[in-house]
Amino acid sequence: MKIMVAVKRVVDYAVKIRVKPDKSGVETQNVKMSMNPFCEIALEEALRIKEAGLAKEVVAVSMGLANCVDTLRTSLAMGADRGIHVEAARELIPLTVAKILKKLVGVENPGLLILGKQAIDDDCNQTGQMIAGLLGWPQGTFASKVVLDKEKQVVTVDREVDGGLETLCLDLPAVITTDLRLNQPRYATLPNIMKAKSKPIKKYTPEELNVEIKSDLEVVQVTEPPKRKAGVILSSVDELIDKLRNEAHVI
């Protein structure tokens, strides 16, 4: 069985982001980019399933500009077998990503499609659900535990929901999106980084896959949230009472 994992190149989680002066988006020039943390977890889960002998191959997919290849190289360095890069000249919205994935699934025929639950740049949390809808596959989102049963061709997924944990049993092929507590991704070891250099990355364009890149959404403005006002350190209880009475008007 093949597992396909979709990975996204985003602004590094630890970077202090800044909004561009023209408010058209977040500053991404000269800013450290890395793999979306949830995608890392998705890839780690796929690798663990393969190492347990339940899958034959892990294929990593990324879509976007040429620099997506960096993220694919990281995936290969972690242990994925092959990479697929779909070149696109601009930001893709989740629906387009889902449509492209559907075409790729048609080419590769994986038994399991694992994605991160959301990307940390747009926080959409839509791609996994959309692709499951387009393919007509069962979906287990916000997975915090995944157990594959190859014999019965089902996968049992524990989902993190508002009320607690929900356990679903899905027939394969299925779509899983990963949540934070699923696993701790491995580091890219040197031997694997070296091996990754010779692993193949196949390039596609959306035209080849017959998917139209059009966006129904337009970003009008991006602004920072209002700055928190600094607290004031008071020197006595009298001052506190005075402020509560005269400034905050609460007593």
Partner 1 sequence: MEKLRATSNLRRSLKSLLNRRLSSGSDFTHFNQKRSFQTSFNWIRDYKSVGEVNAVQYRYFSSVSTLVQRNPSFSTLNSDDISYFKGLLGEKNVIQDEDRLETVNTDWMHKYKGSSKLLLQPRSTEEVSQILRYCNSRCLAVVPQAGNTGLVGGSVPVFDEVIVNVGSMNNIISFDKVSGILVCEAGCILENLISFLDNQGFVMPLDLGAKGSCQIGGNVSTNAGGLRLVRYGSLHGNVLGLEAVLANGDVLDMLGTLRKDNTGYDLKHLFIGSEGSLGIVTKVSILTPPKLSSVNLAFLACKDYSSCQKLLVEAKRKLGEILSAIEFLDDQAMVLVLHHLDGVRNPLPTSMHNFYVLIETIGSDDSFDREKLEAFLLSSMEGGLISDGVLAQDINQLSSFWRIREGVPEALMKAGAVYKYDLSLPVEKMYNLVDDMRVRLGNLAKVVGYGHLGDGNLHLNISAPQYDDAILEQIEPYVYEWTSKHRGSISAEHGLGLMKANKIYYSKTPETVQIMASIKTLLDPNGILNPYKVLPHSINP
Binding residues vs partner 1 (CB under 8 A)? 12-16, 30-32, 34-35, 37, 70, 74, 77, 184, 187-191, 193-194, 235
- The answer to whether 116 touches 233, Cβ cutoff 8 Å, is no
Residue with Cβ nearer partner 1 (166 or 224): 224
Of the candidates 116, 107, 105, the residue with the CA atom closest to the CA atom of residue 141: 116
Residue with Cβ nearer partner 1 (12 or 108): 12
Q: How far is the CB of 152 from partner 1 (least distance, A)?
A: 33
Of the candidates 100, 159, 104, the residue with the CA atom closest to the CA atom of residue 127: 100
Residue with Cβ nearer partner 1 (70 or 81): 70
Map tokens 């492209």 to a residue. 100
Residue with Cβ nearer partner 1 (223 or 235): 235
Residue with Cβ nearer partner 1 (187 or 251): 187
Residues in contact with 198: Cβ distance below 8 Å, sequence separation at least 6, in sequence order: none
How far, in Å, CA of 178 to CA of 119, rounded?
A: 11
Q: How far is the CB of 191 from partner 1 (least distance, A)?
A: 7
SS3 193: helix
- The answer to whether 157 touches 146, Cβ cutoff 8 Å, is yes
Q: How far is the CB of 193 from partner 1 (least distance, A)?
A: 6
How far, in Å, CA of 238 to CA of 104, rounded?
A: 69
First to last CA, the chain: 68
For residue 102, the tally of other CB atoms under 10 A from its CB is 17
Residue with Cβ nearer partner 1 (194 or 219): 194
